[in-house]
Amino acid sequence: MYRYEGEDVFVIDSHLHMWDATEENIIHEGGEQFIQCFYDYHTAFTPEEEQWSLEEYRKYGADRMMQDLFGSAAVDMGIFQPTYLTDFYDEGFNTAEQNAELAEAYPERFVLNGTFDPRDGEEGLQYLEELNDKYDLQGVKLYTAEWRGESKGWRLDSEESFRFLEKCAELGIRNIHPHKGPTIRPLNRDAFDVADVDDAATSFPELNFVVEHVGLPRLDDFCWIAAQEPNVYGGLAVAAPMAVHRPRKFGEIMGELLFWLGEDRLLFGSDYALWNPDWLVDVVMNAELTDEQRDEYGVELDLETKKKIMGENAAELYDIDIEEKKREFQSDAVTEEFGLGDHYESSPAPADD
Amino acid sequence: MSTNSHGDGVTEAQVRERLDRVTDPELDTSIVELEYVDEVRIDGGTVEVAFTLPTAWCSPAFAWMMATDARDEVEALSGVTRATVELREHMHDAEINRGVNERRSFGEAFPDADGDVEPVRAELDEKARIARQHDATGALLDAGLDGAQIASVTRDDVVIGADRARVWLRGGSLAVAVDADPLERYLDKARATGLLDDDHPELFRTPEGEPITPAAFETVRHRTRLAGVNMSGQGSVCDALHESRRAEDRPPLSMRSD
């Protein structure tokens, strides 16, 4: 468990991937462009000494991922968000099935999200049900800019999409995570436009819409929608690593998010392996607003707020009982493997013991 | 300074000054300030501008806007008979350079594109207007005006001078003087978005383009602040990508294609 000034912070990384962008898996030039674009973001927002080579970045595998998440106790739990891109990658880039390798090995530590694509019609509905039967889904990650044959994307507020959202509601899949963020080459910028979240969120008040990447570069549209739709949340993947080289800008963005959404509707996510929680959690926990920003926005980014953002808000959405988890993690497989026992003892032994 | 129609008088400084008016439409910041301009080559009345964007995969529509704007701004200088651009290291540099220099339309240069570049430009102009309104109304608040007064200011109430602008209040019985720059910048975008000749005389508007009621003034201020933070936030993303792309030890990965 991460410790900040003597206090425990239970971290749920709400945005994880285990991807395969090896050359053997790439079947379309878009696949190569996509991973290179990811790599540009990786290097732009990662401290130099933490940067990976492109070869490491293409495929890192389960062991490395476990080490990065739990080796230095940066993260307590994680949520897998799949990104299929099956037009670009033979076996998919990061599918629920691929992520299941770890999620099923350590079910107490991971939440496994599914996905749907309304362009798949009946077959797609069936696949969603299958995923739900298999993994008992609580959430889906949606990639509205994904290419499918001639189509370069789809809208969350379309009639076809609503059929799938209805199915989610029926199956008890409450958390909908649309990627609404930076354009990833070669995908179309407009297919990431956050505007379609508005109608979907109004039409499905029983579902939660966690907008990944807080709509950047349309933070303004996102905040305005979220201010009016209480079931819209912000996923901080991409925004969080701005704290590395652009702390002032990070503070400003957090100021806006806290002003418009409040502290209960923001979720930390590393977007691993875009960025690594191994160092990112520490950077975000140490980020501060300037006095000027505090005055301007009338909000605080204090420890209580950070605890919500780093874990408590995700726990709320995914029915995770943090105290219960702490007890469970005193002796689970991950704790054994990484020697984390001390982290979950209810009262740490005195220093001079 | 003398220039003539044969164009042997144009200087690089003049060209750069002109290019300073061209903005990255997503960031509403000058391409000169953003250091996108690599080189200006002048040969008599012919000027070529070479520029590079933060990433090889910047939106082709944005790249197109900057390329055509640069071409047109430079060509508007007296003494320049022809301006061309050279966009470098972009995934679509060949299409853009050919299209812009051969004066083709975006649709001709990119037959596969979903739509034309004009709606994109209009959307970004609107966002730039909203962000600039924050600076302009901020200057008026600093000068002591209240929300209701600012909401009622019309185009005719504003007189732009060399450094200072005067804003007339109460039907012309009182004027306040403020820095001209934020108001002038706002007027440019208000003009570009058609607000100066629509049905409403009020100069400042909601993001949707409606006059501002006094009760809504505070919320509109917050929304205009947000528009600015969004633009500068995206600016930071571009800037970080730009730096990382230009790092000495960085191979030009983004250009690699298999």
CA-to-CA distance for A26 and A187, rounded, in angstroms? 16
pLDDT at B56 over 90: no
Mutation for A interface: B117, B134, B237, most A CBs within 10 A: B237
CB burial string A46-65: b at 16+ within 10 A, e below = beeeeebebeebbbbeeeeb
Does the beta-carbon distance from B240 to A44 stay under 8 Å? yes
Contact B237 A216 (CB under 8 A): yes
Could you read off the pLDDT of B91-103 as tens digits, one per residue? 899 999 999 999 9
The secondary structure of residue A273, as a DSSP letter, is T
Please name the residues in contact with B168: beta carbons below 8 A apart, sequence gap of 6 or more: B157, B158, B159, B174, B175
What is the pLDDT, as a whole number, of residue B8?
A: 57
pLDDT(A350) > 50: no
Cα separation, A116 vs A106, in Å, equals 24
| Average pLDDT rounded to a whole number, residues B182-204 | 96
| Chain B residues touching A220 at Cβ < 8 A | 127, 130, 223, 226-227, 229-230
Q: Is the pLDDT of residue B30 over 80?
A: yes
Interface check B246 vs A, CB under 8 A? no
Give the minimum alpha-carbon distance from B258 to chain A in angstroms, rounded to a whole number. Answer: 7
Task: Say whether B85 sits in a helix, a strand or coil.
Answer: strand
CA distances from A42 to A85, A209, A285, B13 (A): 19, 26, 20, 37
Q: State whether residue B244 sits within 8 Å of chain A by CB.
A: yes
In this predicted model, what pLDDT tens digit does every residue of A238-293 receive, in sequence order? 899 999 989 999 999 999 999 999 999 999 999 999 999 999 999 999 999 999 99
pLDDT for res B57? 79
Instruction: Please give the residue of chain A at the shortest CA–CA distance from B250.
Output: A43
- For chain A, how many helices (H) and strands (E)? 16, 10
- Comparing CA positions, the residue from A330, A329, A265 lying closest to residue A77 is A329
Which of B59, B236, B247 lies at the smallest CB-CB distance from A183?
B59
Helical spans, DSSP H, in A106-180: 121-135, 159-171
Question: What percentage of residues in chain A have a pLDDT greater than 70?
Answer: 97
pLDDT at B36 over 90: yes
Residue A135: predicted pLDDT: 97
Q: Nearest Cβ partner of A40 from B207, B229, B241?
A: B241
Calculate ∠ Cα B31-B125-A233, nearest 5°: 100
Cβ atoms A50, A304 nearer than 8 A: no
- Per the CB < 8 A criterion, the answer to whether B79 and B10 are in contact is yes
Cβ within 8 Å, pair B222-A259: yes
| Residue B250 in this model has a pLDDT that exceeds 70 | no
Give A26's contacts in chain B (Cβ within 8 Å): 258
- Whole-number pLDDT of residue B116: 82
Give the pLDDT confidence score for residue B139 in this predicted structure. 97
Which DSSP symbol is given to B212?
A: P
- CA-nearest of A112, A91, A106, A104 to A17 is A112
B229 → closest Cβ in A33, A40, A219: A219
CB contacts under 8 A, B 18-47 vs A, are 26
Q: Does B236 touch chain A (CB under 8 A)?
A: yes
pLDDT at residue B4, rounded to an integer: 44
The residues with which A148 forms a beta bridge, in sequence order, are: A151
Domains of chain B: 12-116 (3.30.300.130), 120-234 (1.10.443.10)
Q: Where are the domains of chain A?
A: 1-81+236-348
Interface ipTM = 0.92
Q: Which pLDDT score, from 0 to 100, does residue B251 have?
A: 53
What integer best gives the mean pLDDT of chain B?
90
Strand partners, A112: A80
- The reply to whether residue A43 touches residue B247, judged by beta carbons under 8 angstroms, is yes
A109, containing H or E segment: none
pLDDT in tens, A65-83: 999 999 999 999 999 999 9
Residue B128, pLDDT above cutoff 80: yes
Which chain B residues are closer than 8 Å to A186 by Cβ? 57, 91
Return d(Cα A326, Cα B239) in angstroms, integer: 41
Instruction: pLDDT band for B140, please (50, 70, 90 cuts).
Output: very high
How far away is chain B from the Cα of A2, in angstroms, using its nearest Cα?
28
Model confidence, pTM: 0.92
Q: For B48, how many CA atoms within 13 A lie in the half-sphere containing its CB? A: 8
Average pLDDT of chain A?
Answer: 94
B247–A188 CB contact, under 8 Å: no
Q: To the nearest whole angstrom, how far is the Cα of A8 from the nearest Cα of chain B? A: 31
**DSSP summary character for residue A116:** -
Summarize pLDDT for A92-123 with one digit per residue, the tens. 999 999 999 999 999 999 999 999 999 999 99
